[in-house]
Chain A
Amino acid sequence: MTTPLIELRDVSRRYDDDPPALAEVSLTVAPGEAVAVLGPSGSGKSTLLNLLAGLDRPSAGTVTVAGVRVDELGEAASARYRRASIGMVFQFFNLLDDLTVVDNVVLPAQLAGLARGEARRRAAELLEALGIDRHAHAYPGRLSGGERQRVAVARALMNRPALLLADEPTGALDTASGEDVKDLLGDLHADGQTIVLVTHDVALAQSCATRTIQLVDGRIAADSHVGADR
């Protein structure tokens, strides 16, 4: 068996005295897997993604991603870790409205110190591959929801992350745009991208995930491999 890309051991995340948002979650994900995390609102899905991204720290347990102990990283180190290994896609896109599409996309590379020219070449490739190259110099405000999410995906892929995290990427989209993004994630997975995807949308989970994890009250209630591999 290959070394897992993600390894969570007895991870808990508690806020104050509330019942834990995550409780003793253990989980391994191999490279190339596409995992869909399902569960009711408040079950800890976003918390799990935040822990993987190094945006949050567990109250107990260890989080290892691509050989990095994410739970032990300081602020600056976790930023560098995100730059190098993580791409994030959000429900509400989180594009920067005052930057053009291409400037949004190159940003992670520039934060990592990559020269502008080189970053733009990579961005141009990505935008073309995602079919939004004609909007490269537009501002996000002018794009449709589906187009915006494509830009967000392009930005997430900019630094060739080992792990793509997506938190309800279709949650703010109409059906057609949702389909669009679903296909895109499916294609990425087919190209070998490891993906952890949070969604309420069972269809999305089934169409582009190889494995679904059911969270209930911060615990893994079910973990099943589905034959969605195409």
Chain B
Amino acid sequence: MSTLGKVVRAGVGRRRVQTVVTGLAAMMAVTASVLGGSLLVASAAPFDHAFAGQHGAHLTAQFDAGRTTTAQLSATAHVAGVAAASGPFPTATISAHSGAGTALPPGVDLPPMTVVGRAGPGGPVDDVTLTAGRWVTGPGEIVSAGIPLGSTLRVLGLPGSPTLTVVGVARSVSSTADGWVTPSEITALTAPGAPRRYQMLYRFAAAGTTAQIAADRAAISAAVPAGALTGAQSWLNVKLGTDRNTALFIPFLIAFGVLGVVMSVLIVGNVVAGAVGVSTRRIGILKAIGFTPAQVVRAYMGQALVPAAVGTVIGVVAGNALAIPVLSTTNQLYGTNTSGVAPQVDVAVIAGALGLTAVTAWAAALRAGRLRTVDALAVGRTPRPGRGQRAARLAARLPLPRPVSLGLAHPFARPARTAAMVAAIVFGATAATFAIGVGASLAQVQAAKNHDNADVIVPTFAPQSGHGRVARNRGPRTPTSADPAAITAAVNAQTGTRAYYGTAETEVSVAGVTGSTTVFAFTGNASWAGYRMISGSWFHGPGQAVVPTTFLTATGTRVGDTVTLEDYGKAVPVRIVGEVFDPHTQTMEVLTDAGTLAAAEPNLHPDTYSIAVKPGTEVRGYIHKLDTALRPLGVSAQSDQFQGNSDVILALDALTAILTLMLVATAGLGVLNAVVLDTRERVHDLGVHKALGMTPRQAVTMVIASVVVIGLTGGATGVPVGAALQATIVPAMGHSAGINMPASVIDVYHPTELVLLGLGGLLIAVLGALLPAGWAARTRTATALRTE
């Protein structure tokens, strides 16, 4: 080994803590960057990427099997403009009861499902991604788009009520089906006399606009007998819906990604610069005995790179492992299928971490190497006198135990290092505050989106075949002839009923606006339904309405304005009394009292009743009793908790927790590093203190006290910054989805929570200082006094 190598080896050995901290910092930074980078990649046009990756269907078309043949359908693949086609696949619409394994009690009605018979998930169009289990191989099996693996379904309306077992869970970006079975199974799932249908999936050469899709659709329709094409879903609609949903999450995840990457750069730079900087005196000695500056620089770069490289390797492994749950969350949020960290993220992070380490070490070593040898020999004993003396004088006057006041003055002796520590804590506190705030906001959004304060719903409509995504109690439907009065009488008769309201849905037009607007007309008091108001208030009677932001934007109106609805030729003026938060909204909608439309549409009856039960009432039992009472009327009672998005919230919470922990831990490491450097520099003073009778406990107190001001300052700065970031990002999340956010979504912090978060900065600082403090307590005085 060269002399130089030996010298540096010895240096690394002596500075074991420093080496470990450098490695740890590199590891954490790399882990955080891999996660952050993956989030950034995953958040870049997620739908478009997933759609391209799955060869999504530009058009999902349904054909009446009675009017066309499979040969004719196969031939549509050659229609001009069609780039690729899959199908024909037989399809059926099934109604089912939940069996074992669903999130529901067995026997609950599930929304109607479009089931497609496909031999495999692949194909030139719509490469369905299996996220769990396997593809169907025989009868009695189904691959579901939403029901958990292993669940069973009992299909209704078929002879013998066959059972289907979920053997796989799959995701189709183009939302072509709710479930897939083998093609032959479709016959068994088609009710006697029900129409038989085929599904064809198309990709077109030109499919960028609604007009292009319409032209493509017309071309296909012309290639089959008239009336054979019964329905089609454009990918643009799916994209619109998905983008609106993902738009909410993108700014949040991007903010986290950026925080992670910036923090990593900060910490690695800091730690490496500190590690080399602390060696300045040693470098001076090396030069005094004849090392050239270039030799010194090379040696110290190597010294920093070795632990950084080890940390980077571990960090990449950890980051890729942690990315699995994180990406499964983003997949869930975005409806995408990213399966692992993009290789370019790993490469960029590794190159970035090592490059950053090398450059920082190079700059710091160069600075140390260029220092005049005499100056280099003079530094690094104790902080240069002069700095921080005022602070030390002031602190000495404080009526505090001397070890505390000694520690309080430490940060002022090393302003640059103190600034770096404060920055690390500001970052940690910002991240924690931001994460907790946005997590709370998203939970509020989900709650508002579901507005599902009801425990039980009673749909009074007969389900129609829907396609693609399940439309929850919305969409085209045929009201049954069930008597509303009889239904409400049955509901009122139940002892557990606390409150209920009915919802009727109808289409109207709004003067001056093209296209139709959906009106939700509420019977009874629906103010408890869970709708959040952005401004104004919920309506109080006929003639008043609340509308979502999209409606206000489209009509150019404001809360307090009156708009005229045209319903069956009658003009119905309604006054907008509130702006309702409905992130669901993809159409124009108006929420009003049923009385508003009473004159125009006297036969409008609720198509759903939503019921809340009294506290302590057992919901399943209630549903069963109500269902029994309602059966003779031809309607049934269902749980309203079916499509609760609680897993999304859980996943987001988990994601938030992982990222916050990473950032906070990285911040703590930054503090640890700085305090290690500081304690090392003060080891001689520490020896003096101990010789004068400082006990180990007093030494710990002094070191901890030295970070108290830093922790408090960092916390007091980071918490407002985090809260401000949350107050900026959350409305941005809304705006990117075209909606305003209600105050309940934005103002999520309690004052006590903020104070606790601020104290969290202190906690990070103290935790970071604990190790060196213990070390200070154990330092052998005789040894410390010899360090000179």
Contacts and interface: CB of A to CB of B under 8 A. Distances in A.
Given A97-B385, A98-B383, A107 B402 contact: yes
Contacts of A56: 780, 782
A98 B695 contact: no
A75 B699 CA distance: 11
Nearest to B384: A97
**Chain B CB within 10 Å, residue with most, of A56, A94, A108:** A94
A83 B388 CA distance: 27
A90 B684 CA distance: 13
Interface stretch (A26-34, A109-117, A183-191): A109-117
B698 A88 contact: no
A99 B392 contact: yes
- Interface of chain B, main secondary structure: helix
B788 A83 contact: no
A208 interface: no
Contact of A76 (B409, B688, B697, B785): B697
Nearest to B410: A98
B383 A83 contact: no
A111 B782 contact: no
B694 interface: yes
Interface in A73-127: 75-76, 79-80, 82-84, 86, 88, 90, 92, 94-100, 103, 107-108, 110-113, 116
Contacts of A113: 401
A56 B689 CA distance: 15
A83 B691 CA distance: 8
B751 interface: no
A130 interface: no
Interface in A37-90: 50, 53, 55-56, 75-76, 79-80, 82-84, 86, 88, 90
Nearest to A76: B695
Contacts of B383: 98
Given A55-B781, A98-B385, A82 B396 contact: no
Given A79-B693, A108-B693, A110-B402, A139 B389 contact: yes
A82 B687 CA distance: 13
A155 interface: yes
A98 B388 contact: yes
B88 interface: no
A111 B382 contact: no
Contacts of B778: 75
Contact of B693 (A50, A83, A139): A83
Contact of A112 (B387, B396, B693): B693
A141 interface: yes
B113 interface: no
Contacts of B777: 75
18 contacts: A55-B782, A55-B785, A76-B697, A80-B693, A82-B691, A84-B693, A92-B788, A94-B684, A94-B687, A94-B785, A97-B382, A98-B385, A98-B392, A100-B389, A107-B689, A111-B693, A116-B396, A139-B385
Given A79-B690, A94-B684, 8 more contacts: A55-B780, A75-B778, A80-B695, A83-B692, A98-B392, A99-B396, A111-B403, A111-B693
5 closest cross-chain pairs (CB), A and B = A83-B693, A110-B402, A79-B695, A76-B695, A97-B385
